[in-house]
Amino acid sequence: MSQSSPASDPRLLTPLFLWRGGWLMALSSLHNQPHQHVAASLLVGLEKDIRVTRDGRVLCARAVLVPPECQQSLHSDGPVAILHLDPDEPAWRSLALQQPLSAAHQQWLSDTLRDLSRAAQPETGVVTFVQQLRQLASPPPLDARIAASCAWLRDAPEPAPTMTHLAQQAGLSESRFRHLFREQMGVALKRYQLHLKCQRALSLWQSGMNFTELAVLAGFYDQPHLNRTLRAMFDALPSGYARGQTVQVVPLSIPAENRTTPVE
């Protein structure tokens, strides 16, 4: 994570709110290098427009939505909220139908997230906000077999289920399952599994934690494997956010939506 200025690091304005399907936090500023992650990103300036480079195109707006597996970089000298939404999170699938974000939607996002960043106890407000995002549109539901596979991958202990096991569970050949997963999710299965390990690392992370221990608990081979993954997906390391400040991860319980297409 690059610094917003030579003299200071970005300050965390909120805890990192984490739920089954995404996370949200706000920072005083952020400048990062091009990176690419499996989750969709909703990047929102809380006081003024931000500058986002998305797949080589520079966008200046109050809020920018970046699809999964799309290269991006963010530049904001003012406070910014960062919302990551997994490919199977209904809020992303709803927002995807709103592109390009209207001026009214951008202002609503900025106002709502600015208020949440200043709230004394914002947990309930964050839950309501995510639910509101899910209700912006009615996207086509996930195939029931892919939704079941995603749930299994999230809940399974290490080692994670293999492609063979997932395909068998879905009643498909491996090649058909691989194609259907990518078609429905917009990402490859291996990338999604690596993403879930990053999410697991976030859920286990505490300030002052030994990152070698964190890497093993999250299912990475070792700390260098965790570091390489975080650099590639987030242009960041945990130590960059933790430097000189207390990091608080707040798990949220947001009911899942079970809208899926029936099995063929």
pLDDT at 84 over 70: yes
pLDDT at 255: 84
CA angle 8, 27, 56 (to 5 degrees): 95
Question: What is the number of residues in the chain?
Answer: 264
- What CATH number belongs to 16-134? 2.60.120.10
Q: How confident is the model at residue 239 (pLDDT cuts 50, 70, 90)?
A: low
How far apart (Å, rounded) are the C-alpha atoms in residues 129 and 125?
6
When pLDDT is averaged across residues 140-151 and rounded to a whole number, the result is 95
Q: Does residue 3 have a pLDDT over 50?
A: no
Q: Are 63 and 106 in contact (CB under 8 A)?
A: yes
Could you tell me the two tokens for 133? 């995002």
Q: Which parts of the chain fold into alpha helices (H)?
A: 90-95, 103-118, 123-134, 144-155, 163-170, 174-185, 189-204, 211-218, 223-234, 238-242
pLDDT tier, 242 (very low <50, low <70, confident <90, very high otherwise): low
What pLDDT does residue 262 have? 57
Poorest-confidence range of 58-72, 146-160, 207-221, 225-239? 225-239
* CA 117/CA 12 separation, integer angstroms: 10
Per-residue pLDDT reduced to its tens digit, 48-59: 999 999 999 999
The rounded distance, in Å, linking the Cα atoms of 114 and 18 is 18
Residue 72: CB atoms within 10 Å: 20
Measured CA angle at 78 (ends 8, 240), to 5 deg: 40
Contact 194, 229 (CB under 8 A): yes
- Characterize the bridge pairing of strands 63-66 and 80-85: unpaired
Across the chain, mean pLDDT equals: 87
Res. 91 pLDDT band, cuts 50 70 90 = very high
For residue 207, the model assigns a pLDDT of 61
pLDDT at 264: 54
Checking if the pLDDT of 246 tops 90, the result is no
* Segment 96-134, tens digit of pLDDT: 999 899 999 999 999 999 999 999 999 999 999 999 999
Q: Which pLDDT value is given to residue 107?
A: 98
**Higher-pLDDT residue of 61, 241:** 61
CATH fold of the domain at 142-234: Arc Repressor Mutant, subunit A (1.10.10)
Residue 1 above 70 pLDDT?
no
Q: For residues 236 and 220, what is the distance between their CA atoms, to the nearest angstrom?
A: 17
DSSP 235-259: S--HHHHHTTS---EEE---PPP--
Q: Rounded mean pLDDT of 165-191? A: 96
Q: What percent of the chain has pLDDT over 90?
A: 65
* Alpha-carbon span 15 to 174, nearest angstrom: 40
Lowest mean pLDDT among 28-37, 58-67, 125-134, 219-228: 219-228
User: What global pTM score does this model have?
Assistant: 0.88
State residue 24 phi and psi, 5-degree precision.
-145, 135
pLDDT at 4: 39
| Inter-residue contact 31 to 185 (CB < 8 Å) | no
Residue 156: what pLDDT? 81
* CA distance linking residue 51 with residue 218, whole number of Å: 33
At residue 160, the pLDDT reads 79
Residues 6 or more apart whose CB falls under 8 angstroms from that of 118 comprise none
Q: Where are the domains of the chain?
A: 16-134, 142-234
